[in-house]
Each structure stands twice: as structure tokens, then as C-alpha cells.
């Protein structure tokens, strides 16, 4: 069955290209006429991976088109996902299925509330990908995508065809998986953004390692109070391992700051601070980072306005 991809960032392009390569009918939705024209000039996505470069041609439509959508992969930035969903709402029917693949927490629940839990699958991925240029995606690290349904342990994996080249896992507790990814993102992303450093430096610069340790302890208090089981070792050890494993990378949040784009801080640290408030738990170090990243965003936004 046809897949429609909304959100042509790195993960959206990776999934679209893998579907096309597996012989599954797929198309993109682009929301602005300028992006649509930019895509039409290329006519496809270039996938760069261990097998070399593959050009994967596929059609695209503007969000305002009328073509019905049966299976939607929603993989915009988290802060944009509700607006993105609304832009194609008129093309969905009660039979349409939606797979949401994004960072952070909070918006998945909002999308499930808007569309109805039963038609929404939620994913969490450890695949590493980045855009070399618009619609040209590098699959930099092979991971796994866990997929499940909020409040339902038995949801089936969506039909992606037998030749689909990404690793999938049916997840009976996707909420806990999202919390584990949130824990890693809360420990690594804002720190790298404010210190303008590679992930690996969090494990080699003592002051950064110490700050990461405090963030992990605060996070664990919230997770414990929510009844969420994180990892089979302390969060600090797990987060430092991820920082080492991705040592040369710049986190997605730092990349957003450097490119003067909005970050997902509200859906990552903002979500955690909100949960902490509800539980009456103090998370002063996360709260301080939330403010610092907000200020960085404001400063980069001002400098972008100044440039244009």
C-alpha cells in the first residue's frame, strides 16, 4: 500500500528512499510552493549509504492537494508536527493510518488525541542520518526503529514490504522507549548546544561530565516517580556511552542552533520540566539549561533577522 511522507528532513528522506528501493509506492508531501519547486527540479531523493549513492525517484504533492492519504509517515520536527498534520487533515479518512517518528515527548500524545489512538503508531529510532543537501540523505549509522501504540501492547508493525532495508521492532511499551530516548537527549543535546561541543567532549571534559551526571540524577528522579524503568545501568553510564559512541557528531540541537533553526528543546527538556512540575520534583539543572537554550534560540533568531 502507498506511503506518503510528510517531513522531508533526514529521517523522512531516509524512509522514503528505503521504501522506494524496496519497491513500495511512496510519495512526498511538501508544504511550501518553494520547497515543492526545489524538489521538482530534482525529482527524487539521493540515498548515500554503504552501497554507494542511489537516486530514488518519486512523486511529490503539495499539502493542499486532494489525493487521499492511506498511510502517512509524519516525521517533521516535533514542534511542527501538529501544524503539519492539520495541513493534510482533509486528505485523511477514518481508514488512514499514521506513523509518527520524531524526537521528544508530548506531541505523540497530542497527535493520538487528535487522530484517535487506534490509527496512530508511534516510532522511536536510533538510525543516524543527516542531509548532505536538500533531498540528499546520508545514512550514517544503522540502528533500529521501535514501533508501538500508546496504551496498547499488541499493535502490529505497519506493512513496509519484504525488502524494506531498515531494522524494525514491534514494541509493546513504546512510551517507555520514548522516555529512554528522551533521557539520552536530555543529557546530551542541551549541554552540547550551550557548550558548542561535539558529543564526545561530554565524556572527556570533566566539567561537562559532571554536569551530565547531575542532569542524569535529576532525570532518574522524575522517571522513578512516573514508574518508568530506564536502563539496566545508571543513566549517567548509558548517556556517557552514547556520547562516546557518537563522539565525533554534533547533536541535532547544536546543529539546529548553528543553522539558526528552532530547536526541539521544548519537546525534550521542556517536557521533562513540565513532568517534574506535575510531580513536585525539583530539576534545577534541566530548568537552567531550558532557559539557556531558549536564550540561544532568541539570539540566533535575532541574528538571522539581522542578516535577512
Q: Confirm or reject binding of residue 185 to ligand PAF (CB under 6 A).
A: yes
Site for ligand PAF in 224-263 (CB under 6 A): 242, 246, 249, 251-252
Tell me whether residue 168 or residue 197 sits nearer to ligand PAF (CB atom): 197
Q: Which is nearer to ligand PAF, 156 or 244 (CB)?
A: 244
CB of 176 to ligand PAF, least distance (A): 17
Q: What backbone phi and psi angles, to 5 degrees, belong to 114?
A: -70, -45
What is the CB-side half-sphere exposure of residue 139 using CA atoms within 13 A? 25
Give the nearer residue to ligand PAF in terms of CB position, either 71 or 189.
189
77 is catalytic: no
Q: Is the dihedral of CA 60, 159, 77, 194 positive or negative?
A: negative
**Which secondary-structure segment (H or E) carries 4?**
strand 3-6
| 27 scored as a contact of ligand PAF (CB under 6 A) | no
If binding is defined by CB under 6 A, does position 81 make contact with ligand PAF?
no
Smallest gap from Cβ 84 to ligand PAF, in A, equals 19
Q: How many CB atoms lie within 10 A of CB 30?
A: 21
> Could you say whether residue 275 binds ligand PAF (CB under 6 A)?
no
Neighbours of 101 (CB within 10 A): 23
Radius of gyration of the chain (CA): 19
Query: Is 202 a binder of ligand PAF (CB under 6 A)?
Result: no
Instruction: Name the residue among 108, 128, 225 with its Cα closest to residue 171.
Output: 108
Secondary structure of residue 133 in the 3-state scheme: strand
Near ligand PAF by CB under 6 A: residue from 137, 188, 202, 296: 188
Under the criterion CB under 6 A, does residue 125 sit at the interface with ligand PAF? no
Count of residues binding ligand PAF (CB under 6 A)?
10
CA 235/CA 216 separation, integer angstroms: 6
Residue ranges that bind ligand PAF, judged by CB under 6 A = 184-185, 188-189, 199, 242, 246, 249, 251-252
**Catalytic residue list:** 181
Amino acid at each position: 500500500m502507498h506511503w506518503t511522507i510528510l517531513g522531508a528532513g533526514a529521517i523522512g528522506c531516509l524512509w522514503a528512499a528505503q521504501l522506494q528501493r524496496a519497491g513500495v509506492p511512496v510519495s512526498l508531501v511538501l508544504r511550501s510552493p518553494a520547497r515543492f519547486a526545489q524538489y521538482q527540479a530534482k525529482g527524487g531523493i539521493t540515498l548515500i549509504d554503504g552501497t554507494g549513492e542511489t537516486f530514488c525517484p518519486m512523486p511529490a504533492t503539495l499539502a493542499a492537494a486532494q489525493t487521499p492519504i492511506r498511510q502517512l509517515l509524519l516525521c517533521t520536527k516535533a514542534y511542527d508536527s501538529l501544524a503539519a498534520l492539520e495541513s493534510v487533515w482533509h486528505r485523511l479518512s477514518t481508514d488512514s493510518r499514521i506513523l509518527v517518528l520524531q524526537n521528544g515527548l508530548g506531541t505523540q500524545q497530542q497527535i493520538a488525541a487528535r487522530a484517535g489512538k487506534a490509527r496512530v503508531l508511534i516510532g522511536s529510532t536510533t538510525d543516524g542520518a543527516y542531509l548532505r543537501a536538500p533531498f540528499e540523505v546520508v545514512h550514517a549509522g544503522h540502528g533500529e526503529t521501535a514501533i508501538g501504540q500508546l496504551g496498547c501492547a499488541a499493535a502490529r508493525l505497519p506493512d513496509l514490504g519484504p525488502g524494506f532495508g531498515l531494522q524494525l521492532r514491534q514494541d509493546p511499551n513504546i512510551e517507555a522507549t520514548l522516555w529512554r530516548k528522551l533521557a539520552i537527549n536530555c543529557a546530551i543535546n542541551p549541554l552540547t548546544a550551550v557548550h558548542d561541543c561535539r558529543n564526545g567532549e561530554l565524556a572527556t571534559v570533566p566539567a561537562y561530565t559532571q554536569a551530565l551526571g547531575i542532569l542524569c540524577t535529576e532525570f532518574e528522579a522524575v522517571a522513578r516517580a512516573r514508574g518508568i524503568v530506564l536502563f539496566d545501568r545508571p543513566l549517567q553510564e548509558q548517556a556517557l556511552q552514547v556520547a562516546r559512541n557518537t563522539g565525533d557528531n554534533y547533536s541535532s540541537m547544536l546543529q539546529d542552533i548553528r543553522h539558526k533553526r528552532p530547536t526541539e528543546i521544548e519537546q525534550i527538556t521542556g517536557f521533562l520540566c513540565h513532568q517534574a512540575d506535575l510531580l513536585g520534583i525539583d530539576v534545577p539543572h534541566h530548568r537552567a539549561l531550558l532557559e539557556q537554550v531558549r536564550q540561544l534560540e532568541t539570539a540566533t533568531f535575532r541574528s538571522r533577522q539581522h542578516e535577512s
